[in-house]
Amino acid sequence: MGLDFSYVRQAFPFILEGAARTVEISVMAFALALLIAYAVGIARAKHIPRWLAFPLRAYVELFRGTPLLVQLFLIYYGLPQIGIVMGAWTAGVLGLALNSGAYMSEIVRASLLAVDRGQAEAAEALGYGRLQALRHIVLPQATKIALPPLTNSLASLLKESSLVSIIAITELTRVGNIIYSRTMAPFEIYLTVAFLYLLMTAVVSVVSRRLERTSRAWAAS
Amino acid sequence: MGGFLEVTDVRKSFGNLLVLDGVSMSLDPGEIVMLIGSSGCGKSTLLRCINGLEKVDSGDVRIKSETLQGNAREARRARKSVGTVFQHLNVFPHLTVLENVANPLRVVRKMNKPEAGERALRELARVQLSDKLHSYPAQLSGGQKQRVAIARALAMDPEIMLFDEPTSALDPEIAAEVLDTIRDLADLGLAMILATHQVNFISSFAHRIVFMADGRLTADGTPHEILVENTDPRLTRFLARLRENT
């Protein structure tokens, strides 16, 4: 028995539309996750008062310690029960961003701590204020360190975004499910879906490698 | 004279380790003081108290009558006239040579870009790095990096320069080029405190030598008094060991 891609070919515009939504939701969630990661990561790398440190740590531990799927259920189905209602799209973006943000904040925090302490001191000795030193001296160096793992997070996020298919967002995986339910031929459609995910993560890899190369000039030794 | 730099009975410990045990010293404008003593005797900590990187436990550090022990803003104003060159070549690796000198001018002194660039060019010419403006620190030798650090500190118009073993991380031949640069600074009329083991070289232009042991300044005098006439047994032993190694 051979594979028959004729229906996949016919439904290809629909599939591409799903892929576009996957990219869309991933990019939005990643942008939000970056904001969260830098805010939380910077705060946690600094000496901050306990009333602020505790909730930030709790956030990171909670979102890293529970499954994304459960988090999505809690946001989309659970929150309305206490009066917080949001659309599937918003819930999907928020869930993905909060989840990735927790992991990525640890990347940012570790990268900040990896920058030689002497850099901040040299800046301080030159008269930079704390925030000025962070912004002009420490953060650019930390970002260089964080770049490869952060792009890695983007690739993960692209793949994990398939989970939002279960809260009725018609992205790539859900399109696959819909086509499967019509054709009862899972192999063809899921192969196609898998290939499209691979294509997306490959693009991320290429961009990441290029970014690393351009910032390597000052890290030659 | 006094009042230019006054360190008064400074004590500092880290946990149980007493590093500065009542240090007092003063510096006049344009005076060049060499700070010697074995590693771990507190030289670095003293310099870090003078540029405000460490808070003293007790005592006071005043620069032109402004205390470094007040709140953050007061301390920042007081330290403005202090430039520091560290042992560990703390140039900024993500900035070019030119930006290393220009960035502090723009961020701290609020100069505009052309103004900061022009000033940076002048300071880099002084340390003979005009041909490396657009290199990154990773492409420089240790001595060149240290000269960038010197130019960067000088651009901020300090009146006191602190050098914390500026050549001890460098090869001897490379150390020489940095030492030459430092000697040229002596002609600028800057006050300097140099923590160093390069006794023979630095003492040729230092006005005073201060010897530190166990967190105290135990000898203070002209190079001749310290290197030739001293009778302090610890200082004699220290100098003998130093000469053995060079």
pLDDT in tens, A166-192: 998 999 999 999 999 998 889 999 999
Per-residue model confidence (pLDDT) at position A126 = 93
> Residue A64: which H helix or E strand, with range?
helix A50-65
* pLDDT tens-place string over residues B76-126: 888 888 999 998 888 999 999 999 999 999 999 999 999 999 999 999 999
Q: What is the mean pLDDT of residues A32-48?
A: 94
Q: Are B136 and A118 a contacting pair at CB < 8 A?
A: no
Per-residue model confidence (pLDDT) at position B199 = 84
Domain presence at residue A203: yes
Q: Are B86 and A140 a contacting pair at CB < 8 A?
A: no
Tokens in use for A75?
A: 């946001």
C-alpha dist (Å) from residue A7 to A14, A172, A183:
11, 16, 8
pLDDT category of residue A1 using cuts at 50, 70 and 90 = low
Which residues from chain A sit within 8 angstroms of residue B151, using beta carbons? none
Q: Are A126 and B156 a contacting pair at CB < 8 A?
A: yes
Per-residue model confidence (pLDDT) at position A221 = 42
Say if residues A189 and A172 touch (Cβ distance below 8 Å).
no
Q: What is the mean pLDDT of residues A79-107?
A: 96
> Residue B85: which H helix or E strand, with range?
strand B82-85
Size of interface A-B (CB pairs under 8 A): 68
Q: What is the mean pLDDT of residues A147-171?
A: 93
Q: Looking at the complex, does the CB of residue B137 fall below 8 Å from at least one CB of chain A?
A: yes
* pLDDT tens-place string over residues B197-219: 888 888 888 999 999 998 999 99
**pLDDT of residue B127 exceeding 60:** yes
| Angle CA A162–A60–A119, to nearest 5 | 115
* pLDDT tens-place string over residues B130-181: 999 999 999 999 999 999 999 999 999 999 999 999 888 888 888 888 888 8
Instruction: Please tell me the distance in Å from B18's CA to the nearest CA on chain A.
Output: 22
Q: Which of A121, A125, A132 sits opposite B107 (nearest CB)?
A: A132
Contacts for A180 with CB less than 8 Å, ≥ 6 apart: A186, A189, A190
Give the pTM. Answer: 0.87
Q: What is the mean pLDDT of residues A118-128?
A: 93
Q: What is the mean pLDDT of residues A20-45?
A: 96
Instruction: Please tell me the distance in Å from A212's CA to the nearest CA on chain B.
Output: 13
Say if residues B120 and B128 touch (Cβ distance below 8 Å).
no
C-alpha dist (Å) from residue B19 to A93, B14, B34:
54, 7, 19
Name the closest residue on chain A to residue B72, using Cα atoms.
A129
Per-residue model confidence (pLDDT) at position A102 = 97
pLDDT category of residue A87 using cuts at 50, 70 and 90 = very high
Name the closest residue on chain B to residue A221, using Cα atoms.
B138
Q: Looking at the complex, does the CB of residue B156 fall below 8 Å from at least one CB of chain A?
A: yes
Q: Phi and psi for B32 in degrees, rounded to 5?
A: -115, 115
Q: Are A141 and B93 a contacting pair at CB < 8 A?
A: yes
Q: Where are the alpha helices (DSSP H) in chain B?
A: 43-50, 72-79, 97-107, 113-126, 142-154, 172-186, 199-202, 223-224, 233-245
Closest C-alpha to B83, from B167, B242, B191: B191
Which residues numbered 57-76 in B keep a CB inside 8 Å of some CB on A? 76
Length of chain B: 246
Name the closest residue on chain B to residue A134, using Cα atoms.
B107
Per-residue model confidence (pLDDT) at position B1 = 45
DSSP state, residue B88? T
Instruction: Please tell me the distance in Å from B194's CA to the nearest CA on chain A.
Output: 16
Contacts for B27 with CB less than 8 Å, ≥ 6 apart: B4, B5, B33, B160, B191, B193
User: Which range of residues forms the domain containing residue A19?
Assistant: 6-220
Mean pLDDT of the residues in chain B: 90
Q: Helices (H), strands (E): how many in chain A? A: 10, 0
Q: Are B53 and A124 a contacting pair at CB < 8 A?
A: yes
CATH number (domain holding residue A42) = 1.10.3720.10
Q: Looking at the complex, does the CB of residue B188 fall below 8 Å from at least one CB of chain A?
A: no
Q: Looking at the complex, does the CB of residue B139 fall below 8 Å from at least one CB of chain A?
A: yes
Q: Looking at the complex, does the CB of residue B51 fall below 8 Å from at least one CB of chain A?
A: yes
Which residues from chain B sit within 8 angstroms of residue A220, using beta carbons? 136, 138-139
Identity of residue A10:
Q
Q: Which of A128, A140, A218 sits opposite B107 (nearest CB)?
A: A128
**pLDDT of residue A82 exceeding 80:** yes
Identity of residue B129:
L
Q: Are A127 and B136 a contacting pair at CB < 8 A?
A: no
Domain presence at residue A1: no
Number of domains in chain A: 1
DSSP-assigned letters across all residues of A134-190: IIIIIHHHHHHHHHHHHHHHHHHHHHHGGGGGGGT--SHHHHHHHHHHHH--HHHHH
Q: Are B86 and A118 a contacting pair at CB < 8 A?
A: yes
Closest C-alpha to A147, from A176, A125, A114: A114
Name the closest residue on chain A to residue B94, using Cα atoms.
A218
